Amino acid sequence: MSVTTNATTSASAFARAQSVIPGGVNSPVRAYGNVGGTPRFLASAQGAYVTDVDGNEYVDLVGSWGPALLGHAHPQVVEAVREAAGRGLSFGAPTVTEVDLVDEIRSRVPPAEKVRLVSTGTEATMTALRLARAFTGRDLVVKFAGCYHGHVDALLASAGSGVATLGLPDSAGVSAAVAGETIVVPYNDVEAVEAVFAEHGERIAAVITEAAPANMGVVPPLPGYNAALRRITLAHGALLIQDEVLTGFRVGYSGWWGLEGLREGWSADLHTFGKVIGGGLPVAAVGGRRDVMSLLAPVGPVYQAGTLSGNPVATAAGLATLRLADADVYTRVDAVAAQLRAELTTALSAEGVPHAVQWGGNLFSTFFGAGVAAQGARDYASVLATESWRYAPFFHSLLESGVYAPPSPFEAWFVSAAHDDAAVDRIVSALPAAVRAAAQATAP
């Protein structure tokens, strides 16, 4: 299938944006820095499709980076937003819808005994860290290389040499002192975590991890890995924070906890949520043990506030989305994801491109290279060793065929309940040419 798109208006819009917005975008991945070319400026979205300002229609595999579980502009979600907006856009006072949304979250993840709504995933993880430090009276935090938890200063740190190292700033403007309170270890390495606790255990407030990492591509936890983190943190009096901003209520009715912790009989102390709980509008949350959450102001000494937290329009969108996300929705999303993973594997194998298609629930991504084909990507180092340079031509071929994939090799692919057979067929038809482009790519 060939659709060859025109990007003239997008190019003009991007040039204008670059003159007034740093980099021309308000979140870096949108700039196409990993793939090159002209970012498509989107004008509308419906179901499984997005349309850009030049009138090109694409099957969407980004889904607003997760929230569009039901598909874009679901009629009942739109109606809930319309009704809420008609009652007022913001009050700066409590609303019943906030409580309803929290009750829905708690019903799906009972270990979130109390929940505080915020506006972004970054706010949620920042609040979780503050709570953990207040509760334990300790300062150090352990995170994993390749896991992203928003642009919190203390978490913008990368691994150094050796098994573990005190973090070094990974962004200008983050002080060495702040980053130095973060210990970064390789993901999926229980021995590294045990070694860190053997040396620093009395000073570690928390371990924070993506429940199933999807910000370095999808690198799922090895069997028993999250349970081991639970065991180690309990043994040393530290808290376990599971970041489910991406996976929460996306990979299943109760998120990753429902796929793993519920089945195995354990839970984290704190959970962070986002994306799906806002249905496309900015809502996130931190929830967890009652004794930990009760440290938050106004009942406790940990201050956190937000003028737009629990916004009535945003919470209406999130509540409608969660109430519509029933077993049939997850069955459809899982089935589409499984079909596309199989089609990707078949197409890449037919062209002789070494690869690994990895998944966590219905999130998935493709890595290129003989090394990853043989051993898989288990941590950030193995992700960085892949042939990521094959992704740009692969991406642009899909785009030219009317398929909007993530504009980075290090992001998850998202499908929705609105991806019907026609949408899937368009993706499958676009794969042979995209795979040939990946096969013909040369290393820089």
What phi and psi values does residue 44 have, to the nearest 5 degrees? -160, 165
Distance between CA 295 and CA 316 in Å, rounded?
A: 27
Catalytic residue selected from 189, 225, 269, 275:
275
Give the Å distances, CA to CA, from 387 to 72, 377, 390, 401.
32, 12, 6, 23
Q: Are strands 182-185 and 165-166 parallel, antiparallel or unpaired?
A: antiparallel
Considering only CA atoms, which of 317, 332, 320 is closest in space to residue 415?
332
Catalytic residue selected from 243, 380, 391, 404:
243
Q: Is 143 a catalytic residue?
A: no
What phi and psi values does residue 191 have, to the nearest 5 degrees? -60, -35
Angle 421-440/391-400 helices, nearest 10 degrees? 140
Q: Is 243 a catalytic residue?
A: yes
Say if CB 386 and CB 377 are below 8 A apart: yes
Distance between CA 319 and CA 322 in Å, rounded?
A: 5
Give the Å distances, CA to CA, from 296 to 2, 46, 409.
55, 39, 38
DSSP state, residue 13: H
Calculate ∠ Cα 156-120-337, nearest 5°.
90
Q: Is 148 a catalytic residue?
A: yes
Q: Are strands 168-169 and 284-288 parallel, antiparallel or unpaired?
A: unpaired
Helix, strand, coil percent values for the chain (each to nearest 5): 45, 15, 40
Catalytic residue selected from 148, 187, 380, 404:
148
Q: Which two tokens stand for residue 78?
A: 């739109």
Say if CB 280 and CB 64 are below 8 A apart: yes
What phi and psi values does residue 258 have, to the nearest 5 degrees? -65, -30
Considering only CA atoms, which of 304, 273, 307 is closest in space to residue 287?
273
Q: Are strands 204-210 and 140-144 parallel, antiparallel or unpaired?
A: parallel
In the block, residue with structure tokens 């009972």: 110
> Hey, is 97 helix, strand or coil?
helix
> Hey, is 404 helix, strand or coil?
strand
What phi and psi values does residue 96 have, to the nearest 5 degrees? -65, -30
User: Torsion-angle region of residue 185: left (phi > 0), alpha (psi -120 to 50) or beta?
Assistant: beta
Query: Which residues are catalytic, by number?
Result: 148, 243, 275
